Amino acid sequence: MTSIRTLHQQLVTKERSAVEIATATLERIQALEPKLKSFLCVTADQALATAQQVDAKIARGETLGLLEGIPIAIKDNLCTQGVPTTCASRILEGFIPPYESTVTQKLKDAGAVMVGKTNLDEFAMGSSTENSGYQVTANPWDLSRVPGGSSGGSAAAVAADECVVALGSDTGGSIRQPASLCGVVGLKPTYGLVSRFGLVAYASSLDQIGPFARSVEDSAILLQAIAGYDAKDSTSLNVEIPDYTQFLKPSLKGLKIGVIRETFGEGLDSVVAETVQAAIQQLQKLGAEIKEVSCPRFRYGLPVYYIIAPSEASANLARYDAVKYGIRASNRNLMEMYTQTRAQGFGPEVKRRIMLGTYALSAGYYDAYYLKAQKVRTLIKEDFDQAFSQVDVLVCPTAPTTAFRAGEKTTDPLSMYLSDLMTIPVNLAGLPSMSLPCGFDSQHLPIGLQLIGNVLREDRLFHVGYAYEQATTWHQQKPPLV
């Protein structure tokens, strides 16, 4: 398994050049993509040009940053100047952003080598990546199964070694759930920690950008590079960013970990429950004090989310009017231009959410749905506040099941929505949360352990995640790929 530090060492000692690393990565992408379909676009020329610049720097004897020369994949809802950005929607076909998102600019400045843009559920709405308007990504552990979603392309690419790390976005679980289903580490930072300038908006009070990696350390290194205040994002937090790698410690002595009782109920696969319980015992062996805590309103997360997220989406997606971006389906008259373009450009799930959201916000229903949902959101946050008055970190499963088969849930949106039962409340409360590999089911499909921290306590997620990872070997297992 290649980590950022190993590659960095190879570059510094001139054992391998950045161009060699980029070339090997691009060859692997080329070999795997016919089966995996993680990428919507591979940016080979740009990757090699960046790698050459890194090599030139090495030749000049300059010191190298940790991310310099490291192959990275970017979810295709982040704007990249000069590189197509589709959000996996037909409505944005042909859209080439004239500007760069803050996170990708930071990665460029850090010398990371972007190898391509990854597949997702259209506008990040979905839990399986099957809602992409372009292609269906496979799960590297079993090609007949989904990688999760919506950042399924990024999760599959990292799991299959098509890149070292990747970026995703998480509105209701879209980093953590695919990380769980693909057996990698996925982190959703505190709301506001990472700038969303240039992230195509889905539900603005929930969206956050975060890293996918094959180890907790790599995820800490990547978060370090993208976190921080940005005047271009009005929700950006103006806080000091610590050195996250200093929290990677092997012992959990003195730490209190709370197990959320309500997450071990109905709908949870028994093998997922047993595996997560075993992981919790491991945390105890590492010195943590384990305590059961209750978040009685956790279960309202899902219905609340499906009012708030579609409401915000219906407003955010109003901008696709055939004028500013992407396709134009008709020129006959203004109304027909709007309606034809939106009818042809958006897929069924996006249309469903626009209709749900428009309904929930309409006069007469606003109080009954949207306002009520906002009030329950506050109650969910209060449950977390109460839990964090007793413990330092919360644990529960990331997803109720392992990867399901492609096509299994596409005709039943409610069963698909249930995949995010455990991740959604965290977004509603704005908290940081990590999914990390903690075992496999009988078919050798990965299972994820979810850690939840209080606001801006990413340090504790890195601490617990690292200690667990050091004591186990799950993250070292590779998918039996091609």
CB of 311 to ligand GLN, least distance (A): 12
Sheet order of strands, 256-260 included: 39-42, 113-118, 71-75, 165-170, 208-213, 185-188, 433-440, 446-453, 393-397, 256-260, 289-293
In this structure, the strands spanning 256-260 and 393-397 are parallel
Q: Which of 17, 37, 38, 75 is catalytic?
A: 75
Our finding on whether 357 is near ligand GLN (CB under 6 A) is: no
In the list 420, 432, 445, 461, the residue contacting ligand GLN (rule: CB under 6 A) is 420
Our finding on whether 170 is near ligand GLN (CB under 6 A) is: yes
Is 207 in contact with 188 (CB distance < 8 Å)? no
Q: Which of 89, 150, 151, 169 is catalytic?
A: 150
CB of 380 to ligand GLN, least distance (A): 16
Our finding on whether 450 is near ligand GLN (CB under 6 A) is: no
Compute the distance between CA of residue 226 and CA of residue 236 in angstroms, rounded to an integer.
Answer: 12
In the list 71, 126, 153, 448, the residue contacting ligand GLN (rule: CB under 6 A) is 126
CB of 270 to ligand GLN, least distance (A): 23
CB of 121 to ligand GLN, least distance (A): 7
Listed in sequence order, the residues at least 6 apart from 369 whose beta carbon sits closer than 8 Å to its beta carbon are: 307, 311, 359, 360
Compute the distance between CA of residue 341 and CA of residue 352 in angstroms, rounded to an integer.
Answer: 16
φ, ψ for residue 126 (rounded to 5)?
155, 175
In the list 51, 124, 181, 226, the residue contacting ligand GLN (rule: CB under 6 A) is 124
Q: What number of chain residues touch ligand GLN (CB under 6 A)?
A: 13
Is 190 in contact with 295 (CB distance < 8 Å)? no
Our finding on whether 172 is near ligand GLN (CB under 6 A) is: yes
Applying CB under 6 A, which part among 30-38, 166-174, 294-302, 314-322 lies near ligand GLN?
166-174
What token pair was written down for 478? Answer: 């590779």
Is 35 in contact with 160 (CB distance < 8 Å)? no
Our finding on whether 174 is near ligand GLN (CB under 6 A) is: yes
Residue 317 is which amino acid?
Answer: L
Q: Map residue 103 onto helix, strand or coil.
A: helix
Is 412 in contact with 252 (CB distance < 8 Å)? no
Nearer to ligand GLN among residue 290 and residue 315 (C-beta) = 315
Q: How many helices (H) and strands (E) does the chain have?
A: 15, 11
Q: Which of 38, 174, 215, 433 is catalytic?
A: 174
CB of 86 to ligand GLN, least distance (A): 16
Our finding on whether 309 is near ligand GLN (CB under 6 A) is: yes
Say whether 101 is catalytic. Answer: no
Nearer to ligand GLN among residue 256 and residue 351 (C-beta) = 351
Say whether 174 is catalytic. Answer: yes
Our finding on whether 171 is near ligand GLN (CB under 6 A) is: yes
Say whether 150 is catalytic. Answer: yes
Q: Write out the residues near ligand GLN by the rule CB under 6 A.
A: 124-127, 150, 170-174, 202, 309, 420
